[in-house]
Amino acid sequence: MSLADRIPIGVSSGQIFPDGKVDMEQVRSLAVRAEELGYDSLWTQEQVFGNVPCIEPLSLLTYLSGITTKVRLGVSVLVLPLHNPVRLAKIVSSVDQLTEGRLELGLGIGGAPAIYPKLNLTADRRVRRFVEGLDVMRALWTEDAPTYDGELYKLAGDPMQPKPAQQGGPPVWFGARHSDALRRAVRHADGWMGAGSSTSEAFKEGVVTVRQHLEDEKRDPATFRISKRVYIAVDNDEARGERRLREWFGQYYGNPDNATKVGVWGTPEHCAEQLEELVDAGAEHLLLNMAFDLPEQIEALAEMTGLKR
Protein backbone atom coordinates (compact mmCIF):
# COMPACT_ATOMS: atom_id res chain seq x y z
CA MET A 1 0.00 0.00 0.00
CA SER A 2 1.42 3.40 -0.99
CA LEU A 3 1.68 6.40 1.31
CA ALA A 4 -1.07 8.13 -0.68
CA ASP A 5 -3.37 5.18 0.00
CA ARG A 6 -2.73 5.47 3.74
CA ILE A 7 -3.01 9.21 4.44
CA PRO A 8 -3.69 12.59 2.77
CA ILE A 9 -0.55 14.30 1.52
CA GLY A 10 -0.06 18.05 1.25
CA VAL A 11 2.74 19.98 -0.41
CA SER A 12 4.28 23.44 -0.05
CA SER A 13 3.02 26.15 -2.38
CA GLY A 14 6.32 27.58 -3.65
CA GLN A 15 5.84 30.90 -1.82
CA ILE A 16 9.56 31.18 -0.98
CA PHE A 17 12.09 32.34 -3.60
CA PRO A 18 15.70 31.63 -2.58
CA ASP A 19 17.12 33.21 -5.74
CA GLY A 20 15.55 36.54 -4.74
CA LYS A 21 13.08 36.84 -7.63
CA VAL A 22 9.35 36.28 -7.16
CA ASP A 23 8.12 33.87 -9.83
CA MET A 24 4.32 33.82 -9.82
CA GLU A 25 4.15 31.72 -12.99
CA GLN A 26 5.91 28.94 -11.11
CA VAL A 27 3.52 29.34 -8.18
CA ARG A 28 0.56 29.13 -10.56
CA SER A 29 1.82 26.09 -12.43
CA LEU A 30 2.71 24.28 -9.20
CA ALA A 31 -0.77 24.84 -7.78
CA VAL A 32 -2.48 23.61 -10.93
CA ARG A 33 -0.21 20.59 -11.13
CA ALA A 34 -0.63 19.77 -7.42
CA GLU A 35 -4.39 19.59 -7.92
CA GLU A 36 -4.02 17.49 -11.07
CA LEU A 37 -1.78 15.02 -9.24
CA GLY A 38 -4.22 14.65 -6.36
CA TYR A 39 -2.38 16.30 -3.50
CA ASP A 40 -4.71 16.86 -0.56
CA SER A 41 -3.59 20.40 0.21
CA LEU A 42 -1.30 23.32 -0.61
CA TRP A 43 0.42 25.09 2.29
CA THR A 44 2.01 28.41 3.12
CA GLN A 45 3.87 29.70 6.16
CA GLU A 46 4.41 33.09 7.80
CA GLN A 47 7.63 35.06 7.79
CA VAL A 48 7.54 38.83 8.35
CA PHE A 49 11.24 39.70 8.13
CA GLY A 50 13.98 38.03 6.12
CA ASN A 51 16.36 38.38 3.19
CA VAL A 52 14.60 35.73 1.09
CA PRO A 53 11.29 36.78 -0.54
CA CYS A 54 8.29 35.05 1.07
CA ILE A 55 4.77 35.99 -0.03
CA GLU A 56 2.32 36.78 2.79
CA PRO A 57 0.46 33.51 3.38
CA LEU A 58 -3.22 34.43 3.47
CA SER A 59 -2.87 36.72 0.46
CA LEU A 60 -1.27 33.87 -1.46
CA LEU A 61 -3.98 31.40 -0.46
CA THR A 62 -6.58 33.80 -1.85
CA TYR A 63 -4.68 33.88 -5.14
CA LEU A 64 -4.40 30.09 -5.19
CA SER A 65 -8.13 29.74 -4.61
CA GLY A 66 -8.77 31.46 -7.93
CA ILE A 67 -6.75 28.93 -9.94
CA THR A 68 -7.79 25.72 -8.12
CA THR A 69 -11.15 24.17 -7.30
CA LYS A 70 -10.64 21.17 -5.00
CA VAL A 71 -7.30 21.21 -3.17
CA ARG A 72 -7.38 22.39 0.47
CA LEU A 73 -5.45 25.60 1.17
CA GLY A 74 -3.55 25.99 4.43
CA VAL A 75 -1.18 28.15 6.44
CA SER A 76 1.14 26.57 8.99
CA VAL A 77 1.47 28.62 11.04
CA LEU A 78 0.41 32.18 11.79
CA VAL A 79 1.94 33.45 15.03
CA LEU A 80 -1.34 34.53 16.60
CA PRO A 81 0.02 36.90 19.30
CA LEU A 82 1.54 39.03 16.52
CA HIS A 83 -1.96 39.71 15.15
CA ASN A 84 -4.98 41.62 16.39
CA PRO A 85 -7.54 38.80 16.73
CA VAL A 86 -10.50 40.91 15.59
CA ARG A 87 -8.75 41.98 12.41
CA LEU A 88 -7.44 38.45 11.85
CA ALA A 89 -10.92 36.98 12.34
CA LYS A 90 -12.23 39.27 9.60
CA ILE A 91 -9.40 38.36 7.23
CA VAL A 92 -9.75 34.63 7.88
CA SER A 93 -13.53 34.78 7.38
CA SER A 94 -13.01 36.58 4.08
CA VAL A 95 -10.33 34.14 2.90
CA ASP A 96 -12.52 31.18 3.81
CA GLN A 97 -15.32 32.65 1.72
CA LEU A 98 -12.98 33.40 -1.18
CA THR A 99 -11.63 29.84 -1.08
CA GLU A 100 -15.21 28.49 -0.86
CA GLY A 101 -14.55 26.78 2.44
CA ARG A 102 -11.17 25.22 1.66
CA LEU A 103 -9.06 27.04 4.27
CA GLU A 104 -6.97 25.23 6.90
CA LEU A 105 -5.71 27.57 9.65
CA GLY A 106 -2.51 26.80 11.53
CA LEU A 107 -1.74 28.89 14.61
CA GLY A 108 1.23 29.04 16.94
CA ILE A 109 2.78 31.07 19.74
CA GLY A 110 6.14 31.29 18.01
CA GLY A 111 9.62 30.86 19.40
CA ALA A 112 11.26 34.20 18.60
CA PRO A 113 10.32 36.89 21.17
CA ALA A 114 12.77 39.32 19.55
CA ILE A 115 10.30 39.97 16.73
CA TYR A 116 7.73 41.64 18.99
CA PRO A 117 9.50 45.00 19.51
CA LYS A 118 10.01 45.20 15.73
CA LEU A 119 6.21 45.25 15.40
CA ASN A 120 5.74 47.65 18.32
CA LEU A 121 4.49 44.79 20.51
CA THR A 122 5.69 43.19 23.69
CA ALA A 123 6.28 39.47 24.16
CA ASP A 124 4.70 39.31 27.61
CA ARG A 125 1.64 37.13 28.27
CA ARG A 126 1.88 35.46 24.89
CA VAL A 127 0.04 32.35 26.04
CA ARG A 128 -2.87 34.37 27.44
CA ARG A 129 -3.03 36.44 24.25
CA PHE A 130 -2.95 33.27 22.17
CA VAL A 131 -5.80 31.50 23.99
CA GLU A 132 -7.99 34.60 24.30
CA GLY A 133 -7.27 35.56 20.70
CA LEU A 134 -8.59 32.23 19.45
CA ASP A 135 -11.67 32.53 21.69
CA VAL A 136 -12.34 35.99 20.25
CA MET A 137 -12.05 34.78 16.68
CA ARG A 138 -14.38 31.86 17.27
CA ALA A 139 -16.95 34.12 18.90
CA LEU A 140 -16.82 36.42 15.87
CA TRP A 141 -17.15 33.44 13.52
CA THR A 142 -20.14 31.87 15.26
CA GLU A 143 -22.20 34.50 17.10
CA ASP A 144 -24.56 37.07 15.58
CA ALA A 145 -23.84 39.47 18.44
CA PRO A 146 -20.46 38.24 19.72
CA THR A 147 -19.55 38.93 23.31
CA TYR A 148 -16.37 38.10 25.17
CA ASP A 149 -14.99 39.24 28.52
CA GLY A 150 -11.36 38.19 28.79
CA GLU A 151 -8.46 39.65 30.70
CA LEU A 152 -6.97 41.15 27.54
CA TYR A 153 -9.74 41.20 24.93
CA LYS A 154 -13.39 42.29 25.05
CA LEU A 155 -16.27 41.99 22.61
CA ALA A 156 -19.48 43.95 23.18
CA GLY A 157 -21.92 42.49 20.68
CA ASP A 158 -20.74 44.21 17.50
CA PRO A 159 -21.63 41.91 14.58
CA MET A 160 -19.09 40.75 12.01
CA GLN A 161 -20.09 39.49 8.57
CA PRO A 162 -19.56 37.42 6.59
CA LYS A 163 -19.01 34.40 8.76
CA PRO A 164 -16.56 31.82 7.37
CA ALA A 165 -17.90 29.50 4.68
CA GLN A 166 -17.10 26.56 6.97
CA GLN A 167 -19.53 26.45 9.86
CA GLY A 168 -17.74 27.43 13.06
CA GLY A 169 -14.68 28.54 11.13
CA PRO A 170 -11.88 26.71 9.34
CA PRO A 171 -10.17 23.72 10.95
CA VAL A 172 -7.54 25.00 13.39
CA TRP A 173 -4.15 23.32 13.65
CA PHE A 174 -1.69 24.16 16.42
CA GLY A 175 2.03 24.10 15.88
CA ALA A 176 3.51 23.15 19.26
CA ARG A 177 6.32 21.20 20.93
CA HIS A 178 6.17 21.55 24.71
CA SER A 179 3.85 19.20 26.60
CA ASP A 180 1.81 22.14 27.93
CA ALA A 181 1.39 23.47 24.39
CA LEU A 182 0.33 20.03 23.18
CA ARG A 183 -2.28 19.93 25.93
CA ARG A 184 -3.57 23.30 24.72
CA ALA A 185 -3.80 21.86 21.22
CA VAL A 186 -5.90 18.96 22.46
CA ARG A 187 -8.16 21.36 24.40
CA HIS A 188 -8.59 24.07 21.79
CA ALA A 189 -7.61 22.86 18.29
CA ASP A 190 -8.75 20.43 15.63
CA GLY A 191 -5.27 19.05 15.06
CA TRP A 192 -1.54 19.27 15.73
CA MET A 193 1.16 19.66 13.11
CA GLY A 194 4.69 18.71 14.12
CA ALA A 195 7.09 21.45 13.06
CA GLY A 196 9.42 20.98 10.13
CA SER A 197 12.21 22.21 12.40
CA SER A 198 11.71 19.24 14.74
CA THR A 199 13.29 15.82 14.31
CA SER A 200 11.41 12.64 13.55
CA GLU A 201 12.20 11.40 17.05
CA ALA A 202 10.75 14.56 18.59
CA PHE A 203 7.61 14.07 16.49
CA LYS A 204 7.24 10.47 17.67
CA GLU A 205 7.55 11.64 21.29
CA GLY A 206 4.99 14.36 20.58
CA VAL A 207 2.51 11.80 19.26
CA VAL A 208 2.78 9.83 22.49
CA THR A 209 2.18 13.01 24.51
CA VAL A 210 -0.78 14.05 22.37
CA ARG A 211 -2.41 10.65 22.74
CA GLN A 212 -1.96 10.82 26.50
CA HIS A 213 -3.55 14.29 26.60
CA LEU A 214 -6.44 13.06 24.45
CA GLU A 215 -7.04 10.32 27.01
CA ASP A 216 -6.69 12.71 29.95
CA GLU A 217 -9.12 15.19 28.38
CA LYS A 218 -11.52 12.37 27.44
CA ARG A 219 -11.46 13.56 23.84
CA ASP A 220 -12.23 11.19 20.99
CA PRO A 221 -9.00 10.79 18.96
CA ALA A 222 -11.13 10.67 15.81
CA THR A 223 -11.90 14.38 16.33
CA PHE A 224 -8.22 15.39 16.40
CA ARG A 225 -5.78 15.05 13.49
CA ILE A 226 -2.01 14.67 13.66
CA SER A 227 0.28 15.92 10.89
CA LYS A 228 4.00 16.51 10.29
CA ARG A 229 5.74 19.06 8.10
CA VAL A 230 8.75 17.46 6.43
CA TYR A 231 11.49 19.33 4.59
CA ILE A 232 12.37 16.91 1.82
CA ALA A 233 14.61 16.60 -1.22
CA VAL A 234 14.34 13.60 -3.53
CA ASP A 235 17.72 13.09 -5.21
CA ASN A 236 19.47 9.90 -6.32
CA ASP A 237 22.73 11.67 -5.43
CA GLU A 238 22.25 11.73 -1.64
CA ALA A 239 25.23 13.98 -0.96
CA ARG A 240 23.92 16.56 -3.43
CA GLY A 241 20.43 16.38 -1.93
CA GLU A 242 21.76 17.07 1.55
CA ARG A 243 24.04 19.85 0.32
CA ARG A 244 21.23 21.66 -1.48
CA LEU A 245 18.87 21.27 1.47
CA ARG A 246 21.57 22.74 3.72
CA GLU A 247 21.98 25.65 1.31
CA TRP A 248 18.24 26.34 1.43
CA PHE A 249 18.14 26.21 5.24
CA GLY A 250 21.14 28.53 5.38
CA GLN A 251 19.46 31.08 3.10
CA TYR A 252 15.99 31.00 4.64
CA TYR A 253 16.60 30.16 8.29
CA GLY A 254 20.26 31.09 8.64
CA ASN A 255 20.98 27.61 10.03
CA PRO A 256 22.24 25.05 7.48
CA ASP A 257 23.05 22.49 10.19
CA ASN A 258 19.36 22.14 11.03
CA ALA A 259 18.74 20.69 7.57
CA THR A 260 20.93 17.73 8.46
CA LYS A 261 19.13 17.32 11.80
CA VAL A 262 15.54 17.45 10.57
CA GLY A 263 15.50 17.08 6.78
CA VAL A 264 14.74 14.04 4.65
CA TRP A 265 16.76 13.56 1.48
CA GLY A 266 18.05 10.91 -0.85
CA THR A 267 16.63 8.32 -3.22
CA PRO A 268 12.86 7.88 -3.54
CA GLU A 269 13.14 4.58 -1.68
CA HIS A 270 15.11 6.13 1.19
CA CYS A 271 12.74 9.11 1.49
CA ALA A 272 9.67 6.86 1.37
CA GLU A 273 11.06 4.70 4.17
CA GLN A 274 11.50 7.73 6.44
CA LEU A 275 7.99 9.00 5.68
CA GLU A 276 6.57 5.54 6.36
CA GLU A 277 8.19 5.69 9.81
CA LEU A 278 6.32 8.92 10.56
CA VAL A 279 3.02 7.40 9.45
CA ASP A 280 3.68 4.29 11.53
CA ALA A 281 4.38 6.59 14.49
CA GLY A 282 0.97 8.25 14.15
CA ALA A 283 1.05 10.87 11.38
CA GLU A 284 -2.39 11.03 9.76
CA HIS A 285 -1.35 13.71 7.28
CA LEU A 286 1.99 14.84 5.83
CA LEU A 287 3.02 18.26 4.56
CA LEU A 288 5.97 17.76 2.21
CA ASN A 289 7.97 20.98 2.03
CA MET A 290 9.98 21.27 -1.18
CA ALA A 291 13.10 23.43 -1.16
CA PHE A 292 14.45 23.59 -4.74
CA ASP A 293 13.73 22.43 -8.32
CA LEU A 294 10.06 22.65 -7.43
CA PRO A 295 8.54 21.51 -10.76
CA GLU A 296 10.74 18.41 -10.70
CA GLN A 297 10.29 17.77 -6.99
CA ILE A 298 6.49 17.89 -7.06
CA GLU A 299 6.53 15.16 -9.71
CA ALA A 300 9.12 13.07 -7.86
CA LEU A 301 7.18 13.31 -4.60
CA ALA A 302 3.93 12.33 -6.34
CA GLU A 303 5.58 9.28 -7.87
CA MET A 304 7.31 8.32 -4.62
CA THR A 305 4.12 8.54 -2.53
CA GLY A 306 1.89 6.80 -5.06
CA LEU A 307 -0.17 9.82 -6.08
CA LYS A 308 1.17 9.54 -9.61
CA ARG A 309 0.07 6.20 -11.02
Could you read off the pLDDT of 115-159 as tens digits, one per residue? 999 999 999 999 999 999 999 999 999 999 999 999 999 999 999
pLDDT range class, residue 308, cuts 50, 70, 90: confident
User: Which residues have CB under 8 Å from 84's CB, separation 6+?
Assistant: none
C-alpha–C-alpha distance, residues 154 and 65, integer Å: 33
Looking at residue 257, its pLDDT comes to 97
Looking at residue 209, its pLDDT comes to 97
Looking at residue 44, its pLDDT comes to 98
Looking at residue 126, its pLDDT comes to 94
- Reported as a single tens digit per residue, the pLDDT across 244-282 is 999 999 999 999 999 999 999 999 999 999 999 999 999
Query: Would you tell me how many other CB atoms lie within 10 Å of the CB of residue 256?
Result: 16
Looking at residue 111, its pLDDT comes to 81
C-alpha–C-alpha distance, residues 230 and 272, integer Å: 12
* Contact status, residue 17 vs residue 46, Cβ threshold 8 Å: no
If you average pLDDT over residues 30-45, what whole number do you get? 98
**Domains detected in the chain:** 3-305 (3.20.20.30)
Looking at residue 214, its pLDDT comes to 98
Whole-model pTM: value is 0.96
* Contact status, residue 80 vs residue 129, Cβ threshold 8 Å: yes
If you average pLDDT over residues 29-47, what whole number do you get? 98
- Reported as a single tens digit per residue, the pLDDT across 64-94 is 999 999 999 999 999 999 999 999 999 999 9
* Contact status, residue 276 vs residue 3, Cβ threshold 8 Å: yes
Using the CB atoms, write b or e for 55-86: b if 16+ within 10 Å: bebbebbbbbbeebeebbbbbbbbbbbbbebb
If you average pLDDT over residues 283-300, what whole number do you get? 98
Q: With 90 as the cut, is the pLDDT of residue 177 above it?
A: no
Q: With 90 as the cut, is the pLDDT of residue 100 above it?
A: yes
Q: With 90 as the cut, is the pLDDT of residue 173 above it?
A: yes
Portion of the chain with pLDDT greater than 90, in percent: 96
The residues pairing with 232 across neighbouring beta strands, listed in sequence order, are 264
Looking at residue 41, its pLDDT comes to 98
Q: With 90 as the cut, is the pLDDT of residue 110 above it?
A: no
